Amino acid sequence: MAGPVPFKVRRIIQAAPGIKTLQLVPVVPGSFSFDFKPGQFVNLMIQGPGEPLMARPYSISSSPTNKEYLELTIKILEGGRFTSKVDQLKEGDEVKVGGPFGRFFFLDEAKMKSLVLIGGGCGTTPFISMVRYINDRKLPIKTTYVYSCRTPAHILFREELVQIANRNKDIRLVFTTTREWPSDWKFETGRISPEMLRKHIDIGAPGQYYMICGPTEMAKGMAQMLKGMGIADEFIISESWGGGA
């Protein structure tokens, strides 16, 4: 993809406490191909009046099957130099988008018969794109999305994911909340553990790959845990974003 493309903010959605979803459309129709792979990221660029251009990478949370808009889901950090600018964006504002970039996507749809997607907090945006894509394309990939959040309110795209899983038998959800949950909570509680994974997943099934995304410590910890469960390195694909997400 050539240089940065001007986009307009079409819609801003409060996705969860402190997390905003931006729907972006190219200013010039056709100037962005939407030909990315689910899991890739773009560089979002914002320039305030009289200010230098700033950029940060964000995973695309929409699916490449959605040609209407590009969706990014961003945690607004207190004191964040870039996310404070994201927080000030209004619908109709102009930004620039460079990319797509990155190799965090399923590399071989034919070889990967089963995917275990493990994410925490806001570190799940590439997985939303993947789940949407697998569902839209009706790919025969057994997908288990293991997603840990502080509270149910922090689970991004919860209703949409539940609807997808209700309709698509190849897609299963394992939500777990670590700080609070209602008395009628039907999912897991506490941190992701080997026992929790074994309960829901046929660990080590042929063609099974594990993808991890989240803050660095979480990603490292999950990879260690999987290795401790006997999963070979070649089946673990990980991306981390630094400490804050």
41 touches ligand FAD (CB under 6 A): yes
Minimum distance, C-beta of residue 56 to ligand FAD, in the bound complex (Å): 4
Closer by beta carbon to ligand FAD, 15 or else 236: 15
127 touches ligand FAD (CB under 6 A): no
Half-sphere exposure of 168 (CA within 13 A, CB side): 25
Closer by beta carbon to ligand FAD, 83 or else 208: 83
82 touches ligand FAD (CB under 6 A): yes
15 touches ligand FAD (CB under 6 A): no
98 touches ligand FAD (CB under 6 A): no
Closer by beta carbon to ligand FAD, 147 or else 181: 147
Closer by beta carbon to ligand FAD, 4 or else 244: 244
21 touches ligand FAD (CB under 6 A): no
70 touches ligand FAD (CB under 6 A): no
83 touches ligand FAD (CB under 6 A): yes
Minimum distance, C-beta of residue 178 to ligand FAD, in the bound complex (Å): 19
Minimum distance, C-beta of residue 216 to ligand FAD, in the bound complex (Å): 10
143 touches ligand FAD (CB under 6 A): no
